[in-house]
Amino acid sequence: MDGRELIKRQVEYYRARAPEYDEWFFRQGRYDRGPAHRAQWLSEAGEIEAVLRSAVRDGVVLELACGTGLWTRHLAQLNRRVLAVDAAPEAVARNRARVDAANVDYVIADIFSWRPSAKFDSVFFSFWLSHVPEEMFEAFWTRVGETLLPNGRIFFIDSLLEESSSARDHAPLDRSGISRRRLNDGSEFDIVKIFYQPEELEARLRGLGWRGWVRTTERFFLYGSFERSGAPGSRA
Ligand SMILES: C[S@@+](CC[C@H](N)C(=O)[O-])C[C@H]1O[C@@H](n2cnc3c(N)ncnc32)[C@H](O)[C@@H]1O
């Protein structure tokens, strides 16, 4: 399957998955691995939430691949405006219902072809970078850089390769760059899923002219914050 076909298939997958998407985050159904696991997962997510809340606030934020709003809710509470983009109308409908905030606008669009007409203080994306095909990585970061105001900042969250993150009936995770996903009805989709090594990702972004860091929680997540190198007053 070529890159374009994978991107299309990925959107089909997330459209179909929208009604059951949150089971992954809250460790329910096929993602349920017991209370200790859930507590650890939610505590690590809470750790990132605390950093996000201090790093991305009081500004105008672009959220790419906003999904059902699990992170949009935090951005909306702390920022003047949020523009939330996703290709799946079914996910955006859930996001709207969850967040229910007048300072959030939504766009249903394919991130790879959509261009914003404004620039932003921050661009945020969670569990999205791992779905950007390798051959689009550089173009994606160039595009993101172009949407930032001079002192703008990127904040992202993604998955570490931790076997118990996945549904119990998924095949073991690997670094092939493609994952076979299953929905509750048994249907299957092959999607892009790249597990980045934090140090390599940080070095790669520095090589592309970004300044910042990638950190990890104990088991499940990585997260990063970057500014353009040479941005006035760059603090990253
Ligand atoms: C793993 S989910 C992450 C959702 C949300 N950021 C979160 O952390 O819960 C990936 C999201 O990307 C969206 N998506 C997939 N391909 C896309 C594309 N080409 N353009 C825009 N959104 C896309 C899906 O609809 C889905 O909501």
Q: What is the 3-state secondary structure (H, E, C) of the chain?
A: CCHHHHHHHHHHHHHHHHHHHHHHHCCCHHHCCCHHHHHHHHHHHHHHHHHHHHHCCCCEEEEECCCCCCCHHHHHHHCCEEEEEECCHHHHHHHHHHHCCCCEEEEECCCCCCCCCCCEEEEEEECCHHHCCHHHHHHHHHHHHHCEEEEEEEEEEEECCCHHHCCCCCCCCCCCCEEEEECCCCCEEEEECCCCCHHHHHHHHHHCCEEEEEEECCCCEEEEEEEECCCCCCCC
Atom of ligand 1 nearest to the CA of 65: 12
Residue 232: per-residue pLDDT? 64
Atom of ligand 1 nearest to the CA of 112: 19
CA torsion sign, 35 to 41 to 166 to 83? positive
Strand 60-64 with 210-216, pairing: unpaired
Residue 234: per-residue pLDDT? 55
**And the tokens for 50?**
């605390």
Q: pLDDT, tens digit, for every residue of 187-222? A: 999 999 999 999 999 999 999 999 999 999 999 999
Write out residues with Cβ below 6 Å of ligand 1: 7, 10-11, 14, 65-67, 70-71, 86-88, 91, 110-112, 126-128, 131
Ligand 1 center to 66 CA (angstroms): 6
Ligand 1 center to 125 CA (angstroms): 9
Residue 1: per-residue pLDDT? 67
Burial 58-72 (b: 16+ CB within 10 A, else e): ebbbbbbbbbbbbbb
**Predicted model pTM:** 0.96
Residue 176: per-residue pLDDT? 86
Residue 75: per-residue pLDDT? 98
Residue 159: per-residue pLDDT? 97
Atom of ligand 1 nearest to the CA of 63: 6
Which residue owns the Cα nearest ligand 1 atom 8? 126
**And the tokens for 169?**
């009936």
Query: Each residue's pLDDT tens digit in the chain (236 positions)?
Result: 677 888 999 999 999 999 999 999 999 999 999 999 999 999 999 999 999 999 999 999 999 999 999 999 999 999 999 999 999 999 999 999 999 999 999 999 999 999 999 999 999 999 999 999 999 999 999 999 999 999 999 999 999 999 889 888 888 888 889 999 999 999 999 999 999 999 999 999 999 999 999 999 999 999 999 999 876 655 54
Q: Which of 15, 98, 127 to mutate to test the pocket of ligand 1 (most atoms within 8 A of CB)?
A: 127
Which residue owns the Cα nearest ligand 1 atom 13? 65
